[in-house]
Chain A
Amino acid sequence: MKARVHVMLKTGVLDPQGEAVRHALSALGFDGVQGVRQGKVIELNLATTDKAAAEVEVKEMCENLLANTVIESYQIELS
């Protein structure tokens, strides 16, 4: 089973990298971009085939290591 974890800075936490990307897009002539937030995607290849168990385990991974919940939020996709 595969898990895909999306980690993003929480709303309200300034994202200087996203801002830099927005400026760069604007310099390329993409004027309609009102905001950019940059995050990361982490793909996990899991041994288990039990979706419920995978969800519990990946959530624990996120809380312990993959995301810093002081500043980041995460979403888990299983397939």
Chain B
Amino acid sequence: MRAAVIQFPGSNCDRDMAVALQAAGADVSMVWHKNTDLPDGLDFVAIPGGFSFGDYLRVGAIAAHSPICQSVVAFANHGGYVFGVCNGFQVLTETGLLPGALLRNAGLKYICKHVELNVETTQSAYTSAYKIGQTITIPIAHHDGNYNLDDKDAQALFDQGRVAFTYADNPNGSVRSIAGVLSENRRVLGMMPHPERLADPAQGGTDGQPFFAGLMDQIAKV
């Protein structure tokens, strides 16, 4: 699998993401935000966590309008796999590739801890190696993870099986405890928790490992 990790000024989980992808067997390129083109023959793009452009204006807003993001949107619209974690999720909602928006945590505090997630669907490359109803432990570290969408649209996401993960114990006020959302074609995923931060025994856990292993397997089949 050929993967790219996008780097913005203020990204800080880009290398963690690259390491997790390489450990799963991916060939990873780092791509600077001012580039206008993605590398040729790419299967997968990751938008990492961090504080792109200092979270100025709105979280993810400036990054979503950077030159590379236009190529990422075009890549997704042509059926490419795009994964946004944490700030990457915020960027994906700002580009319009994913519905909703991420607001300040309901409790107003920055939260950095391990949380339990429920796997809501296995019908995606990202969740294919988990089991429905399985509970996994994944770290969160965010100030603006409160996923906002009106009730009708949130219900529609559940009805369409587009909710990838929910929080077992909602930490940030997200509607219906939604932690991760898939696009209509199920190839774009945004989530606040960081699977790349718990994908190696040296990190204290490996619940994120099947995420990347499943992704590799599924993309190899495409």
A interface residue numbers (CB < 8 A to B): 9, 12-14, 16-17, 20, 64-66, 68, 70-71
Contacts and interface: CB of A to CB of B under 8 A. Distances in A.
Q: B interface, by DSSP: helix, strand, loop or mixed?
A: loop
Interface in B12-46: none
Contacts of A14: 103, 106, 146, 148, 173
17 contacts: A12-B150, A13-B103, A14-B146, A16-B108, A16-B146, A17-B104, A20-B108, A64-B65, A65-B57, A68-B61, A70-B99, A70-B100, A70-B101, A70-B148, A71-B101, A71-B103, A71-B148
A45 B173 CA distance: 38
Interface in B137-158: 146, 148, 150
A13 B148 contact: yes
B5 to A, nearest CB: 25
Nearest to A40: B57
A13 to B, nearest CB: 6
A70 B103 contact: no
